[in-house]
Amino acid sequence: MFNWENVLSYMNGGGPVPPRRVEKSLVEWKKILTSEQFYVTRQKGTERPHTGELCSFYEPGKYACVCCSTELFDSSLKFDSGTGWPSFSEPVADDVIQYESDTTYGQRVEVLCNICDAHLGHVFPDGPPPTGVRFCINSESLKFVE
């Protein structure tokens, strides 16, 4: 069962080995992303809460990385955290997410796509059972796949 201990051990231990890698220059990413997607995923931006279109969207399906199309989250593990950002209790697979220490505003754990290094959001130890983990993800970094 995925839990907060997994997050901390991945953050401190270098993280899971990615199943594949997608690497592009910032110039190349800029060509294929909208300015909002580029700002969030490549410049570690944060969209304003309650503005993302996937925030109150609960159709069944998967959520893929907007940059490299790798499936990252599943609608069955999405929940309404009330924060204004799409929230998930677990990724679809351990090896698609990378965890980095972020001390910009106190101690937080940044979440990135393990395949292309896109900034996704942050993860917190206050999610609902059974994982107790809350992935707080920007809508701009995800695309819905039916």
Shortest spacing between CB 132 and Zn ion, in angstroms = 25
How would you list the strands of the sheet with 87-88, edge to edge?
A: 78-79, 87-88, 134-137, 119-124, 108-113, 97-102
The H-assigned helical ranges of 1-146 are: 4-13, 26-32, 35-42
Residue 136 annotated as catalytic: yes
Q: Which is nearer to Zn ion, 5 or 145 (CB)?
A: 145
Report, in Å, the least distance between residue 49 CB and Zn ion: 23
User: By C-beta, is 37 or 87 nearer to Zn ion?
Assistant: 37
Catalytic entry in 55, 65, 67, 136: 136
Confirm if 84 and 56 have CB atoms less than 8 A apart: no
120-126, long-range: CB < 8 A, 24+ apart: 120/41, 120/65, 120/72, 121/46, 121/85, 123/7, 123/99, 125/4, 125/7
Contacts to Zn ion by CB under 5 A:
65, 67-68, 113, 115-116, 118
Query: Which of residues 18 and 132 has its CB atom nearest to Zn ion in the complex?
Result: 18
- Least distance in angstroms from the C-beta of 115 to Zn ion: 5
Nearer to Zn ion, 69 or 101 (CB): 69
DSSP letter, residue 89: S
Q: Which residue has the tokens 């580029």?
A: 38
For residue 117, the minimal CB distance to Zn ion (Å) is 7
Catalytically annotated residues: 136
